[in-house]
Amino acid sequence: MFQSIPRQEPFISVTRTQDDRGLLPGYGLPLDYAPMEKNIYGVHNRSLFPSALDDRDIQKGYADQPLQSLREFGMLRVMESLTDIPDWHRKIFLPGVADSWKDEAIKCDVDITPNMADWIIDELQFKAIVYEHTQSISLYNGDITKSDLNVPESFRLEIKEAIKELEDVPPELQFFNPGTNYKQRDLVPIGFCPLVYGRSRILKDKTIGLDDALQHAGQGLVIPCPPETGFTREDMAWRVASRADIAVRPYSRNFQILPCDLRLGEDERWHISSYINNLHPVKHRNIYNLIEQLFNHLIPQWNSTLTPLKDMLHSRARIEYKKAEYHPLPKDVEERTPKPREGEAQNEFEDRLLAWRLQNWKAVQPDAGKFLPWAVPPWMVSNLPPDLPTPVRIEQGVELNKDYAERGLQLIIRILSAELTPDDPIFETDWHVEGQLNEHICASAFYTFDTENIEDITMEFRHLAELDSITEIEHDPDDSVWLKQVFGLDAGDSPNQIVGKIKCKSGRVVMYPSTVQHRINRFNLADKGKAGYTKAIAMFLVDPNIRIISTSNIPPQRLDWAFDDCKKDELDGLNSSLDRLSMNFQDRRENLPFSMNEAKQYHAQIFKELIEFTKYQHVAFTSNVITL
């Protein structure tokens, strides 16, 4: 039923080391530090969640997902559409609804067989039970999840109103993302006043919280530039190392985006315990409270999305494919099979033969079997029928409140507004994974809370298919037609598969792990004659198995915070004076706080570095090659 032999143990164990909060990657520990834990065989392994940001995880197959057929992607399209229907998780059990949805699936423009339609309904009925528990559904491998119920409508209206105070700021305090051609305005930017090695100050023997953050501004020691990591170009995939245009390293020695810390309170809720970079901890404390609420609303969804990172037994393919077979050719077509021409090079003949076969051969497409859950959460075991034909394993899921209650969590917050006009009406992004390796982002949540005059926004995902599944398929040595017709792949190319897309409608949370790439598909103004926007909160969860430098270690660096009781002309004068002092006393520049102009220069530099890193990550993501 499933494409690959499952792992017999959790991918990682919860990390118990690196509890000294004065020792952090890039400060006291190497930039590429990774906690190590023994597995069940006594072997020490890196105890981090797998990530497509890490070339080593890509090369070892840790970021892979099961190979999926084009027919399975058709099933996903149908299930994605059905689960967009309001109250789908209740309607699917109503008399006649399941049969009606089956008929619609078979008659739609997607290649769906009766067996596939049966599987679709059976899987959705199973996941409807899970949905009642988690308020989210996962259809795509890696547990990319969506939820329309985790965040109540009353909260959406409250956050929509509260965010308005972040929009009403002078032009010099407005930040636009250069990676979106300056169409995305960051109301809470992640790249302004980041950790700058050789410039930022770090508190050596203490940490700060929300209430005492501002009084520590300007304190601490300048954090030195860390030494080069042991991760060199020789450790990278050959496709990355061979590219002369890729100069960036996996770990930045210049910058790190700063997360805030979260602690679990006695009320079993997570609380923000250090300031959110670029969100004033006094003036905007009401927004802090709302972000806390949002994070706590999403705990079941975080657990669902993180579980496959811990327990890779969770992944599977729905349709099995073991042997390449083709429908018989008509005799007259078979007689026209190309033959080598006199003087024709062998590779030219093979290309011509492959083109003919692709045009004339038709692979026998695989079909779905009977749906059986591969793994179930512990709470569901008592609900399973006793006469299942095969054993069902209990998944070893992630529980943030249990697994990381003592260690705490770290979170990067961005609040954004994509703003379109009749003169510039289109928005889209390219494939990427969030952050660099320094930030150790393991999963992201995207909550859309307000839209106006915008077409449907969709977030699309692609994954790396495991190569072993391809090599295990029985086929003739010189035949690769089945690879294209069944899986949409080509020999010699990377095993990237675009798995599907999810609408980012207002009130919905879309969550995804860092083992997959994503992009925002092109969208436009609904009414081309007037402006429009979409607003969202993005949460980037730092891998909870490691602690990185955060706002509990780095005092606030914004000049307008340190002197927030100054008048505008006084602040402008101070800003100009700092710029002059920085130019005239370069050797003592590190003793001065950031001027606003210097901070904006770093903002531009970190985005330039992120764009370069995305190029590196894209090549790394496509570095594995299909060979038959």
For residue range 117-155, what is the model confidence (pLDDT) as tens digits? 999 999 999 999 999 999 999 999 888 999 999 999 999
For 42-89, give the DSSP string.
S-EEE-S---TT-HHHHHHTTTEE----HHHHHHHHHHHHHTTSTTHH
Between CA 465 and CA 63 the distance in angstroms is 9
**CA 275, CA 208: separation in Å to the nearest integer?**
9
Give the SS3 label for residue 328: coil
- pLDDT recorded at residue 1: 23
H/E element holding 351? helix 346-360
Q: Which residues partner with 461 through β-bridges?
A: 500, 518
Confidence of residue 594 (pLDDT cuts 50, 70, 90): confident
Report whether 239 contacts 619 (CB < 8 A): yes
Determine the distance from the C-alpha atom of residue 162 to the mean position of all C-alpha atoms in its chain, rounded to a whole number: 27
Tell me what percent of the residues of the chain surpass a pLDDT of 70. 85
Strands 44-46 and 36-38: antiparallel
* C-beta atoms surrounding 108 within 10 Å: 14
Ramachandran quadrant class, 296 (left: phi over 0; alpha: psi -120 to 50; beta: rest): alpha
Alpha-carbon distance of 628 to 626, in angstroms, equals 7
Written as one letter, the residue type at 341 is: R
Collect all residues with Cβ–Cβ distance below 8 Å to 342 and sequence separation of at least 6: none
What is the DSSP pairing of strand 195-196 with strand 375-376? Answer: unpaired
What does the pLDDT average to over 17-24? 68
Helix axes 299-310, 114-134, angle to 10 degrees: 120
Residue 283 reports pLDDT greater than 50: yes
Rounded to 10 deg, the angle between the 97-107 and 114-134 helix axes is 130
Report residue 6 as tokens: 């499952």
Q: What is the DSSP string of 116-132?
A: HHHHHHHHHHHHHHHHH
Query: What pLDDT, on the 0 to 100 scale, is given for residue 178?
Result: 78
Two structure tokens written together for 469: 């599944």
- Residue 213 is given by DSSP the state T
* pLDDT at position 430: 92
What does the block give as tokens for 43?
A: 């072997």
Contact criterion met (CB below 8 Å) for 240 and 55: yes
Tokens 């959406």 — which residue? 156
Report the helix count and the strand count for the chain, using DSSP H and E.
18, 26
CA distance 558 to 278: 8
On the CB side of 109, how many CA atoms lie within 13 Å of its CA? 1
Cα distance between residue 20 and residue 28, in whole Å: 10
CA distances from 155 to 70, 151, 160, 281 (A): 39, 7, 8, 21
Query: Region 558-569: what's the mean pLDDT?
Result: 70
The reported pLDDT for the residue numbered 596 is 80
pLDDT tens-digit series, residues 383-406:
676 666 677 778 888 999 999 999
pLDDT band at 237 (very low <50, low <70, confident <90, very high): low
Least confident of 64-68, 377-381, 464-468: 377-381
Q: What is the tens place of the pLDDT at every residue in 432-467?
A: 999 999 999 999 999 999 999 999 999 999 999 999
pLDDT in tens, 502-511: 999 999 999 9
pLDDT at position 47: 83
Beta strands in 475-516 (DSSP E): 496-503, 509-513
Left, alpha or beta for 107 (phi > 0: left; psi -120 to 50: alpha)? Answer: alpha
pLDDT in tens, 310-323: 876 557 889 999 99
The answer to whether the pTM exceeds 0.85 is yes
pLDDT at residue number 380: 79
Give the span between the Cα atoms of 513 and 302, in whole angstroms: 10
Q: What is the four-CA torsion angle of 585, 586, 590, 591, rounded to 10 degrees?
A: -10
Residues 6+ apart with CB under 8 A from 545: 12, 14, 15, 35, 47, 48, 49
Look at residue 17 and tell me whether its pLDDT is greater than 50: no
- Write out 355-397 in H/E/C secondary structure: HHHHHHCCECCCCCCCCCCCEECHHHHHHCCCCCCCCCEECCC
Q: How far is CA 526 from the centre of its chain?
A: 28
Contact 515, 463 (CB under 8 A): yes
* Residue carrying the six token digits 């400060």: 27
- Residue 460 makes CB contacts below 8 A (sequence gap 6+) with 498, 500, 501, 518, 519, 520, 521
Strand 375-376 with 409-420, pairing: unpaired
